[in-house]
Structure 1
Amino acid sequence: MPRIPASELSGYLLRGRICGRGCLHTIKGPSPVLLATSSRQSRHASGHGHPATDRSPGAALEGQAPIVPYRKQLKDQAKALKAAGGKKKKAKADNQTVPGWELTVGIEIHAQLNTTKKLFSPAPVSSANDPPNQNVALFDLALPGSQPVFQEETLIPALRAALALDCDIQRVSSFDRKHYFHWDQPSGYQITQYYEPFARNGKIVLYARDGIAPQDGEEVLVGIKQIQMEQDTAKTIAQPGEVHWLDFNRVGVPLIEIITEPHIHHPATAAALVRKVQLLLHSVDACVLGMEAGGLRADVNVSVRRADDPTGALGTRTEIKNLSSFKAVEDAIIAERDRQIDLLEKGGTVEGETRGWSLGSTETRRLRGKEGEVDYRYMPDPDLGPVVIGEDLIAHLEASMGILPDVEVEGLINTYGLSSKDAVSLMQLDDGGRLQYFYNVLDALEARTSQAGMPAGNGDGAALLAANWCLHELGKLTSASSREVDTEHASGEGLEISPSGECRVAASDLADILFFLHRRRITANVAKDLLWSVFRGDVGAASRPFVDVESAIDKGDLWFRELSADEYAQIADVAVRGEEKVLREFEKFRDGGSKAYPQGKLMYLVGKMMRLGPDGRMDPRSAERVLRSRIENHYLAELGTRA
């Protein structure tokens, strides 16, 4: 296909002129992109006549107003909206409440269980790369005569999830049929647990570190009404021309539905709950696919009422289906809350209905009227007997649960001194692999310290240093500015952290770097360069340029040979020359005229020292210590003498 000349492109983009050559010959009716009309332009747009001579961006035909570029039109519209009193979109932190109104939210979370079999057939659960309609059994397709057979192993991850959410396990539960007709449900009903679910009366505590709304304070408790097992539907793949393809691999995949009580009153708290539920399910190996992989979906029930309503009754709720990201949960709740409030303030009524949400939208859309119990015609499934759960199984699962996320976070905070934000980040990154990598680094660091004959301990700040590097310095390796990977040695651009904590940057190599850095035998800049060399593949094997970190430091002569105290003092004397005005600030503090110590002025002078001194031989902490001593014991006295 020949390249379109720039003049023709500019004519189309800036003035809506379409070239008559090629496949575009006729246009019925006026083109919506034409910003100015004339018989000459119309002939050109429909494939007749010749293009206009003047193709400059601001050109206009004789007798017509100049053409205004589209970007300027948008700017003018924004200015006009602002002048008319239009408001900008609120930030989410400022959009958690609406004065005079109370929001109530309940959430239903559907999570795919970590099993190899489907719920009622021996067909395997498909992976993302399996061909369509390959892993199906007769019952999955609802062929006549086929019957469900409950696969007992699917109960194990479901019980783990219920125990992690502090639920009461029901010793006897049963399955029911939920009737509705849709192309993704071949049998015309879904098997679920409506009347007798296997778990009830749970709870989850959300803390400020989980990202709840500030209005909820330090923590909020959300009740779990019940958890039930159910089967998934077929996957619908939309095609052009209102055609839909069905992939039955997903039919019968085991799910749990977690139904919360309506205890949530802020959109950010709702998103935090879904996020924490995903983390809990992953930590107990109940659900290994998160929202980003399609293994977890959320439906939210939203209602509003006036804050001063004397009846205290909840408003009519609407349900928003199939939200597939934490951001979508918060955005959809805000949009639906605002829609309902606007409707009620105008004298309208909120209808109970099911609504949809698309990423990037600013409002929800109606899908259908809200079904009720009568519409679904719930009935006990006659082909499935009750599920009886033994006490011994529950006791075994409780004993093998492991450490739950809240306990893990508290340990990171109390034992290693991490901030709550860093502790939660370690838990969430790489599906928990980053946390295990951090522990591997600590183990390797302790072994390295013991090998050197030095005492080990968590109180010396080494663990905090390791956490900082595992979170921040490792992250910088894969940033856009650092993707200069040696293709001969490196296997990819990512860190490739596995759930067991294996990483492209070996934990032992990072531990060696931190060992020398923590004991001030190398500088921070040298440590970062070494980390990048390990990431590229220059360090870490006999075939590489350097076998280990220590040999790389030796061959590069990178050891830190710090200046003496006298040498620091000489540099400090040079740094403070001509800085009498700055030194006066310290004099004011000493004499009681300043409320706070002028730390910023001190660091300004330390920066001058670092620039004046030799590269690779100065430590900022030593420079600060020497400079502070010189100011207090020498420079201020000299100022007084001059005065």
Structure 2
Amino acid sequence: MLSYRSTSVLLADHAPLRKQLKEAARAGRGKQDGEASERERVRQERLANWELTVGIEIHAQLNTGSKLFSRMSVSKYIVSHMLTDTGASAEYTDVPNAATWPFDLAVPGSQPLFQSPVLIPAIRAALALNCHVQPRSKFDRKHYFYHDQPAGYQITQYYEPFARDGHLILTQQDGLGKTDAERLEVGIKQIQLEQDTAKTQEQDEETSLIDFNRSGHALIEIISLPHLHSAEAAAAYVRKVQSILYAVDAATTGMEVGGLRADVNVSVRRLGDENGSHSYSGVTGLGQRTEIKNLSSFKSVEDAVRAEADRQIDVLESGGTIEGETRGWSLSSPGVTRRLRGKEGEVDYRYMPDPDISPLYIHSEVVDQLRDQLPPVPEQLLDMLCARYGLTVADAQALLSLDDGGRLLWYQDVVARLGVLGNDAKSRIGVQVGNWVLHELGALLTTTETQWHSDLIHAQQMADLVSLQAENKLTGPSAKRLLRILLDGATGPVAAIAEKENLLFMPMTDEEYDNLASAVIDANPDEADTVRANGKQAKGKLKFLLGQMMRQGDRNRIEAQRAEMVLQAKLLQAGP
């Protein structure tokens, strides 16, 4: 028969199977993390001898109601109309090849009809990216044959685009890499209007389905200068361009739903070698570049740049040469780029002015008016939230990123209902509301798995909750309980809801505090004697007694600061 002691030793030596499996998994993860860390260290040591250069071409769908050269709707096709008591209504569907115009299908004899409203979001994008809008621009034909482009050419603005010479500022807050500078200015060579292609759906190796609903959508192509020198900077640049396009309402969808795509041009050269034989967008002395097409996520941009840089370095260190080519990136083989075709040049595409489209003239008054009406870009919003509302950079960035800016608008509405912020740059109101909107409400949404929307809790209700707590009419726990009640759909004045739920704070009298403190001291004489003997040095015992007071008191009435003062007065012979 085993004794208790021997049984304890046996159990200690033989841990339960579940615990053993957890420890083994933890050890395995630690080993994998260590190996990955070592691989990255070796990679960084090798990269220290090379300079990576990246230029990016971003294709973004404009927020416009019609296509670039036809009146057809860009998103939905009306398949039936019917009259109701309130007038005409329509049913909408995404039927493939239904939202097309003869010109979208390259029907012989059809002609392009430029839709001037597409200029509004395009100019907003150009201004937000600090570009100069050209008073005159022209359209060109870019010739190539592919089944998603039935005309055999794409209409674009290669030679005379509508916007030139912009720039974008990236900082470490935007996600630059450790090897990047604190502040990086990325030049934008030009922004050009062009038409989108049809959508291809591969059925099998021999069959592809073509949907021409997307054909002819108005795009802008944003061409950067090769000013990026890390994979992290490349992803940060694309991310920031997308956020700016969102902010100024130039685009309504991003990479996550296919509304924005990126092509990256990657080259490497040995560090200190200024005699590279290649140039790109006016920058000379570069290594031979390759282009990776149609990247559809920020992660794929970063991973593809990193993988292609590693591949080129491997080739060069082994004595090979880099070929100018177009490469692809597949999620089925992460970490590897693959050759698609030889790199086409200006001659291959046989660019020529489009004879069917007149030059595009943009009056300076139109540009000035759109500049005056331009919404603030994320950088300006970040500065405003920190300077005027008193938020930390981290909280301001979180607020900007939530719900496509919807949470920010709701936050500002709540603050506005609490009164003018005034001249105080670190407004207490802005900070308090920020804490509730981001942290308290954010945590509650997560735990309840609730999708946020602006009507979930009325802005006035949130403002009243913050006001009640600021006026000491609600304790912290009571305010959190009240927030949950509001989230569950309670309507009406918040003060009335709080009173009905018995949440309003009713301060205890001095006599009640004195009686509560005496009761706690009498129930815990040893702890009380220790405090009397050692004074404030006995912090642990003092906190214990205070905790007892808080637990025994009415949580809707007791204040921790007042309770501590009364407790110290009784034990330390000091007045409150």
Normalised TM-score (structure 1): 0.73
Distance 1:579 1:225 in 2: 78
In the alignment, the residues of structure 1 paired with residue 106 and residue 427 of structure 2 have an alpha-carbon distance, to the nearest angstrom, of: 65
Q: Aligned partners of 2:294, 2:559: CA distance in 1, in Å?
A: 55
1:577 and 2:561 are equivalent in the alignment: no
Where does residue 355 of structure 2 map in the other structure?
382
The share of aligned pairs that are identical, in percent, is: 49
Deviation for aligned residue 1:606 = 6.7
2:59 touches 2:261 (CA, 8 Å); kept in 1? Answer: yes
Structure 2 residue 280 is the aligned partner of structure 1 residue 307: no
CA distance in 2, matches of 1:105, 1:625: 63
Query: Do the aligned partners of residues 623 and 291 (structure 1) sit closer, same or farther apart at CA in structure 2, a change above 3 Å counting?
Result: farther
Contact 2:232 2:302 in 1 (8 A): yes
Q: Which residue of 1 aligns with 2:297?
A: 325
Residues 576 and 605, structure 1, Cα contact 8 Å, conserved in 2: no
Q: Quick check: 1:119 aligned with 2:68?
A: yes
Partners of 1:152 and 1:580 lie apart in 2 by 83
Instruction: State the distance in 1 between where 2:444 and 2:344 align.
Output: 51
Query: Where does residue 506 of structure 1 map in the other structure?
Result: 458
- Which residue of structure 2 aligns with residue 418 of structure 1? 391
1:557 maps to what in 2?
502
CA contact (8 A) 2:535 2:572 kept: no
SS at match of 1:120: coil
> 2-side partners of 1:602 and 1:329: how far apart?
57
1:520 counterpart (445, 451, 472): 472
Letter in 1 for 2:297: S
**Counterpart Cα distance in 2 of 1:287 and 1:557:** 48
Counterpart residue number, 1:364: 337
Instruction: Indicate the RMSD between aligned Cα atoms, in angstroms.
Output: 3.8
| Contact 2:387/2:425 (<8 A) preserved | no
Which sits farther off after the overlay, 615-624 or 259-268?
Answer: 615-624
For 1:604 and 1:311, locate their aligned partners in 2 and report how far apart those are by CA, in whole Å.
73
Q: Does structure 1 residue 529 correspond to structure 2 residue 481?
A: yes
| 1:409 lines up with 2:416 in the alignment | no
Structure 1 unmatched ranges of 5 or more: 1-70, 450-454, 484-492, 497-501, 541-546, 589-597, 637-643
- String of CA shifts for 1:200-229, please: whole Å, max 9, x gaps: 110111223222224334321111110000
Distance 1:129 1:362 in 2: 38
Cα distance change, pair 618–249 in 1 and its aligned pair in 2 (3 A): same
The residue type paired with residue 368 of structure 1 is: R
Q: Conserved in 2, the CA contact under 8 Å of 1:184 and 1:234? A: yes
**AA aligned opposite 2:458:** A
The one of 75, 91, 94 equivalent to 1:130 is 94
Change (3 A) 1:572 1:103: farther
CA distance in 2 between partners of 1:172 and 1:579 (Å): 89
Distance 2:397 2:317 in 1: 41
Shift, 1:124, TM fit: 1.6
Q: Which secondary structure does the structure 2 equivalent of 1:181 belong to? A: coil
Q: Does 1:476 align with 2:443?
A: yes
Q: 1:96 to 1:252 in 2, by over 3 A?
A: farther
- 2:280 aligned partner: none
Q: Separation in 1 of the partners of 2:558 and 2:172?
A: 41
> Superposition pairs for residues 538-549 of structure 1, below 5 Å?
539-540=490-491, 547-549=492-494
Alignment partner for residue 494 of structure 1, among 451, 470, 480? 451
Q: Could you say if the C-alpha distance between residues 460 and 393 of structure 1 is closer, same or farther in structure 2, counting changes exceeding 3 Å?
A: closer
- 601-610 or 153-162, larger mean C-alpha shift: 601-610
Aligned residues: 522
Gaps of at least 5 residues in structure 2 are 1-20, 77-91, 277-284
Aligned residue for 1:200, secondary structure, equals strand
Q: 2:113 aligns with which of 146, 149, 152?
A: 149
1:610 Cα deviation after fit? 4.6
- Aligned-pair CA distance for 1:323: 1.4
Counterparts of 2:529 and 2:337, CA distance in 1: 62
Contact 1:569–1:630 at 8 Å: present in 2 too? no
- After TM superposition, the structure 1 stretch with the greater mean CA deviation from structure 2, 399-408 or 180-189, is 399-408
Quickly say closer, same or farther: Cα 1:456–1:286, change in 2 above 3 A. Answer: closer
Q: In the alignment, which residue of structure 1 is the partner of 2:149?
A: 185
* Deviation, structure 1 residue 609: 6.2
Residue of structure 2 in register with 1:68 after alignment: none
Does 2:315 correspond to 1:343? yes
Shift of 1:245: 0.7
Q: Hey, what's the Cα distance between the residues in 1 that align with 2:494 and 2:148? A: 57
Change (3 A) 1:611 1:570: same
State the 1:291 CA deviation.
Answer: 1.6
Q: In 1, Cα distance between the equivalents of 2:482 and 2:46?
A: 49
Read off the aligned partner of 2:194 and give its amino acid letter: E
Deviates more, 1:186-195 or 1:323-332: 323-332
SS at match of 1:215: coil
Residue matched to 1:487? none
SS in 1 for 2:527: coil
CA change 1:504–1:129 in 2 (3 A) is: farther
Structure-2 residue corresponding to 1:219: 183
* Cα contact 2:550–2:560 (8 A) shared by 1: yes
Q: Classify 1:211/1:96 alpha carbon distance in 2 versus 1 (closer, same or farther; 3 Å).
A: farther
Aligned-partner residue type, residue 615 of structure 1: R
CA distance in 2, matches of 1:435, 1:379: 46
- 1:226-257: CA deviation from partner (whole Å, max 9, x where unpaired): 00000000011122454211110111100000
Q: Deviations over 1:266-309 (max 9, x none)?
A: 22222221111112112221111122122111111111222232
Higher strand fraction (1 or 2)? 2
Question: Could you tell me which residue of structure 1 aligns to residue 18 of structure 2?
Answer: none
Asked if the contact 1:304/1:337 (under 8 Å) is kept, the reply is yes
Per the alignment, residue 81 of structure 2 pairs with none
| 1:347 CA drift (Å) | 2.6
Which residues of 2 match residues 29-48 of structure 1 at below 5 A? none
Contact 2:389 / 2:427 at 8 angstroms: preserved in 1? no
C-alpha separation between the residues in 2 aligned to 1:380 and 1:601? 86
| 1:460 to partner: Cα distance | 5.7
Asked if the contact 2:390–2:427 (Cα under 8 Å) also holds between the matched residues in 1, the reply is no
> Structure 1 residue aligned with 2:255, among 284, 291, 300?
291
TM-superposed deviation, 1:159: 0.9
Structure 1: distance between partners of 2:526 and 2:573: 9
Structure 2 residue corresponding to 1:165, chosen from 108, 117, 129: 129
Q: How far, CA to CA, are the matches of 1:611 and 1:96 in structure 2?
A: 58
